[in-house]
Amino acid sequence: MPPYTLPFEKPVLELENKLRELANFSESQKIDVSNEIDRMKKRILDTRRKIYSELTPWQKVQVARHPLRPYTNDYIQRLTKDWIEIHGDRNYRDDRAIIGGFATIDDERVLLIGTQKGRDTKSNLECNFGCAYPEGYRKALRLMKLAAKFRLPIVVLVDTPGAYPGIESEERHIAEAIAVNLREMFTFPVPIIVTIIGEGGSGGALGIGVGDRVLVLEHAYYSVISPEGCAAILWKDRAYADRAAEALKLTSNDLIAMGFADEIIPEPLGGAHGDPETMAETLKTVILRNLKEVKMLSDEQRLQARYNKFRAMGRFAEGGPPAKGAARRAPPLPAAPTPIMAGDTLADQQPPARE
């Protein structure tokens, strides 16, 4: 795959071009410019460091979608051994957007599942750009049941723009497939360690994302809707994706702050795609450490802790309207324990028209 530069990485690209020119010049003219070259290399490093320390949420989304970013398969190759892939949902077909199988990470035998993206047209057609159909979620469920039966911890790698919104998806009930996974993942007593390695696209990510630990790579994102989708709805224009990305609070730091993720896994300078080897090594270390901690709990403790973790997610006011201006201007609201409250009118708002 040819090198790919994100718009905000341009300064680095320019410096790299200069460096190359300098090296060529030195070689052709037989002049020693090693001092300049060293200085240039340092400048490249500094520039890259600066860019990556100041990424906006929208830029992070672009890093998370970088076409050279390591995908599930890359991590399987780098951090596991004795990989045995398992196929199919025993019902319809083998969805290539969610892959899974037995893997050994150091000494840990686990069941690993993950959403898989493609790098070229052929592989993208095969795995549908990482967007799973219902059978993908049902395959994941089958594999997790297998893991629960044979007491294998479950390691999940998430990298998907979302579940596939297509006719066949609806005909085979994608919503039901995701819902059942959500429910069942609360019942498997074996440890479940989820890592968002790239894109955490809404229900499609959550559909395999209920775990004892939810880890997130530094530049990965996790969101209820894509920034573009949100912009199209709230700003009526996809061009506002940068503002939507900011408003949605989807970066790894936001996820930690709000309690949706337990730990940020640092990426090498320039993002995971800059140094996949180091990335895989870090990922392995963090997954194994978390797995070790979660394994110390009894099954009941683990299930209760998993329940409590997700049970606590949500922010609201109780006992009275939320503080300040907003509520003060609101009209008196119906008293709390009235059995049947003042009705709303039929004509008030109709749902979308039926065709």
Partner 1 sequence: MPLFSKKNYSTVKVRKRDIPDGLWLKCPGCQEIIFKQELDENASVCPKCGHHFQMSRADRIKLLIEDGTFQEWDGDLYSVDTLGFTGTASYTSKLEENRRKTGYHDAISIGRGRMAHHDIGFGVMDFTFLGASMGSVVGEKVTRLIEKSTKARLPVILICASGGARMYEGMFSLMQMAKTSGALARHAEAGLAYIPVLTHPTTAGVMASFATLGDLIVAEPAALIGFAGPRVIKETTQQDLPEGFQRSEFLLKHGLLDMVVPRKQLKQTLVLVLDYLLDKQTAIKAG
- Residues 266-325 within binding reach of partner 1 (CB under 8 A): 306-307, 310-311, 313-322
In whole angstroms, the minimum distance from the beta carbon of 50 to partner 1 comes to: 28
Can you tell me which residue has the tokens 């009275």? 320
190 binds partner 1, rule: CB under 8 A: no
- Check binding of 346 to partner 1 (CB under 8 A): yes
Closer CB to partner 1, 11 or 189, in the complex = 189
Q: Work out whether 167 is an interface residue with partner 1 (CB under 8 A).
A: yes
Alpha-carbon gap, residue 63 to 158, rounded angstroms: 15
Residue 31 is a binding residue for partner 1 (CB under 8 A): no
Judged by CB under 8 A, the residue of 153, 207, 271, 276 near partner 1 is 207
- CB neighbours of residue 280 within 10 Å: 19
When the beta carbons of 109 and 249 are compared against partner 1, the nearer one is 249
Residue 92 DSSP SS3: coil
- What are the structure tokens assigned to 140, written together? 């994941």
Q: Is 329 in the site for partner 1 (CB under 8 A)?
A: yes
CB of 2 to partner 1, least distance (A): 27
The CA distance from 82 to 310, in Å, is 33
Which CB atom, from 193 or from 288, has the smaller least distance to partner 1? 193
x/- mask, partner 1, residues 229-258, rule CB under 8 A, reads -x--xxxx-------x--xxxx---xx--x
Amino acid at 318: E
20 is an interface residue for partner 1 by CB under 8 A: no
Q: Choose, by CB under 8 A, the member of 115, 116, 169, 290 that binds partner 1.
A: 169
Residue 306's alpha-carbon distances to 182, 209, 286, in angstroms, are: 12, 12, 19
Phi and psi for 93 in degrees, rounded to 5? -170, 180
Classify residue 90 as left (phi > 0), alpha (psi -120 to 50) or beta: left
**Which DSSP helix (H) or strand (E) runs through 135?**
helix 134-149
Shortest gap between Cβ of 323 and partner 1 (angstroms)? 9
Residue given tokens 């993720």 in the structure block: 261
Per rule CB under 8 A, is residue 29 in the interface with partner 1? no
> By CB under 8 A, which span of 11-19, 94-102, 284-292, 333-341 interacts with partner 1?
333-341
**Minimum Å distance from CB 294 to partner 1?**
17
Residue 34 φ then ψ, to 5°: -60, -30
- Identity of the residue, 163 or 288, whose beta carbon is nearer to partner 1 in the bound complex: 163
If binding is defined by CB under 8 A, does position 176 make contact with partner 1? yes
Total site size for partner 1, rule CB under 8 A? 84
Binding mask 107-146 for partner 1 (x = CB under 8 A): ----------------------------------------
223 counts as binding partner 1 under rule CB under 8 A: yes
Q: What does 36-82 look like in DSSP terms, one character per residue?
A: HHHHHHHHHHHHHHHHHHT--HHHHHHHHT-TTS--HHHHHHHH-EE
* H-helix or E-strand spanning residue 26: helix 10-29
82, two tokens: 């004795």
Residues 6+ apart with CB under 8 A from 318: none
**Residue range at the interface with partner 1 (CB under 8 A); choices 101-109, 138-146, 183-191, 292-300:** 183-191
2 near partner 1, rule: CB under 8 A: no
Question: Residue 216 Cβ, how far from partner 1 at the closest point, in Å?
Answer: 11
d(CA 29, CA 26): 5
Is 338 a residue that touches partner 1 (CB under 8 A)? Answer: yes
